[in-house]
Amino acid sequence: MTPTGPPSPRSHDRSLPLAGPDRRARPLSPADPAGPDVLGGKGHGLVTMMRLGMPVPPGFVIPPAACRAYLRDGTLPEDLEAAARDLRVPLVSVRSGAEVSMPGMMDTFLDVDPCSPRLRAAVEEVFASWLAPRAVTYRELHGIPHDLGTAVVVQAMVSGEHDEHSGSGVAFSRDPSSGVKRPYGDLLFERPGSDVVSGSVATRPLAGLEEREPGVWAALLDGLDRVERHYRDVCHVEFTFESGRLWFLQVRPGGLAGRAAVRVAVDLADEGLIDRATAVRRLSARQLRAARTARIRLTDDLDVIARGTGAGPGVATGRIALTADRAARMASDGPVILVRPHTSPLDMHGLAAAAGIVTTVGGPTSHAAVVARAMGKPAIVGAGALSVDPAAGLLRTAGRVLPEGTPVTIDGTGGEVVAGAADTTTDESDPYLERLLGWSANNPGD
């Protein structure tokens, strides 16, 4: 792998100002002062991590101006092939990276030979995917201008499936459910990153890395600490480790909601990373309102069986049912939580009968999530650690077996599945929210 240094004098010469915005490829370099409008959000994050001394695979960015030109007249920057050749790596990834994040809306290509016509085709497809109807819909709904275009990030491939010391994962620097200062995330050994986010494979908790790859774990903690100090906020990273060597592929600051966001703001102020006025400013009225929705009370002895993605807010307690028929029958004796791999129309009566719904695969925009929200029911999707065995009447996780009928509580905001009947919490009892509100009332006392 070629180490990435500052741009060569030649590339400086080539970046002399021309009429109109620069469309040329820019090597990923800690010396590049450009902002997200030129590097895209993903590219800017990668350059930031390089500046922080974190390991990032070498690569280059094709700016959004090139996308706009391509969509106008079908031309690509002339230096694309040269920039790819200069990487001197056998395979690259080709990813979109708009200035404003549009997760999952545009195309990604992996394992592309940088010296093949496929590279050109991949870049063209990523640019063209800016106009895909789904991406247009996303921009309409999120108020993102249609004329921005996307950057493309071309990077050396690092393989999460290379050997037993390889894998992929995603990590928050703090627990996204509670805001507690401990890394939280999902992990797969000997798998590519796409498997971690697809929801099709049961992931492992991030902490499993500490024992199996202590070097990678230490490097990850170090990186999370650096990005937190830089952004002065909780951060989310995507990473791959190949043969025991860690690489960061993406960073995104923020992204927590409700009580977790409140706790992080208060803790960051206590840690001196932000001042109290900043902590107060970060929490909008909307977020404070979100902090008041009912949640499971997070205590140290809470028995969390699994976590997925909260897909329908609210808390529900009930007995586990593993088929729609069982849910409909059991519901006459009290509340039921329906746990399914995914849902089909054959499950509709079970969804109607259940007090809450958990699926083990799928994301927050699945049929199950839409139906649950239409019915106003708490729902969790993609609880990948669970496996449903209706024939045996058992719900299995890595460490235990729960028979159908076992009481559980689910939190459709944080995505926790907890054994037994857990307490719920409201804003009156949250010391972090009280302190933050105290600061906002110009009362700095604790």
Partner 1 sequence: MTDLRVLHTLRCLGFTDLARVADAAALSEADTESRLIDLAVDGLVTRTPGPFGGWGLTEAGKAEDARLVAAELTAAGTRESVAGAFERFLVLNPELLDLCTAWHMRPADGVAELNDHTDAAYDSRVLARFVDLDRRAADVCTTLETALPRFASYRRRLSAALGRATAGELEHLADTTTSYHNVWFQLHEDLLVTLGIPR
Query: For binding to partner 1 (CB under 8 A), which residues are involved?
Result: 133-134, 137-138, 140-142, 254-258, 261, 284, 286-287, 289-290, 313, 324-325, 327-329, 331-332, 342, 344-349, 352-353, 364-367, 369-371, 373-374
In the complex, the smallest distance separating the C-beta of residue 176 from partner 1, rounded to whole angstroms, is: 12
The CA-CA-CA angle for residues 38, 70, 144, to 5°, reads: 55
Instruction: Decide whether 181 or 292 has the Cβ nearer to partner 1.
Output: 292
Q: Nearest distance from residue 84's CB to partner 1, in Å?
A: 29
Cβ pair 331, 405 in contact under 8 A = no
Output the CA torsion 287→102→200→382 (10° steps): 10
Q: CB of 34: closest distance to partner 1 in angstroms?
A: 25
- For the CB of residue 191, give the shortest distance to partner 1 in the complex, in Å: 23
Give the contacts of 119 (CB within 8 A, at least 6 positions apart): 80, 81, 84, 92, 94, 112, 113, 154
| Distance (Å, whole) CA 408 – CA 229 | 38
Q: Which is nearer to partner 1, 62 or 351 (CB)?
A: 351
Compute the least distance from the CB of residue 64 to partner 1, in Å: 22
> Rounded to the nearest whole angstrom, what is the least distance from the CB of residue 140 to partner 1 in the complex?
6
To the nearest whole angstrom, how small is the minimum distance from the Cβ of residue 443 to partner 1? 24
Chain centroid offset of residue 15 CA: 34
- Return the exposure string of 271-304: e unless at least 16 CB atoms fall within 10 Å of the residue's CB, then b: eeebebeebbebbeeebbebbebbbbbbeeebee
Smallest gap from Cβ 243 to partner 1, in A, equals 35
- What is d(CA 338, CA 326) in angstroms, rounded to the nearest whole number? 9
Closest approach, Cβ 154 to partner 1, in A, equals: 25
Q: 395: closest CA among 170, 195, 202, 184?
A: 202
DSSP bridge pairs for 23: none
Phi/psi for 307 (5° steps) reads -130, 145
Q: Answer yes or no: are the C-beta atoms of 83 and 29 closer than 8 Å.
A: no
- With H, G, I as helix, E, B as strand and everything else as coil, classify residue 268: helix
**Closer Cβ to partner 1, 28 or 379, answer by number:** 379
Take residue 278 and report the two structure tokens written for it: 């900043």
Cβ(351)–Cβ(324) below 8 Å: yes
With respect to partner 1, which residue has the nearer C-beta, 54 or 327? Answer: 327
Between residues 116 and 344, which has the closer beta carbon with respect to partner 1?
A: 344
Contact status, residue 306 vs residue 381, Cβ threshold 8 Å: no
- Measured CA distances, 22 to 59, 61, 69 (Å): 18, 12, 11
Q: DSSP state, 348?
A: H
Q: Taking Cα atoms as reference points, which of 114, 133, 120, 35 lies closest to residue 70? A: 120
Q: In terms of CB distance, is 212 or 342 closer to partner 1?
A: 342
Residue 27 · residue 56 · CB < 8 Å: no
List the Cα angle 242/246/251 in 5-degree steps: 125
Query: Of 318 and 364, which CB lies nearer to partner 1 in the complex structure?
Result: 364
Supply the minimum distance, in Å, between the C-beta of residue 35 and partner 1.
20
Nearer Cβ to partner 1 (16/141):
141
Smallest gap from Cβ 238 to partner 1, in A, equals 19
C-beta closer to partner 1: residue 101 or 159: 101
> CB of 359: closest distance to partner 1 in angstroms?
12
Query: Which C-beta is closer to partner 1: that of 185 or that of 258?
Result: 258
Our CB check for partner 1 shows the closer of 89 and 327 to be 327
DSSP secondary structure letter of residue 347: G
**Closest CB to partner 1 among residues 8, 344:** 344
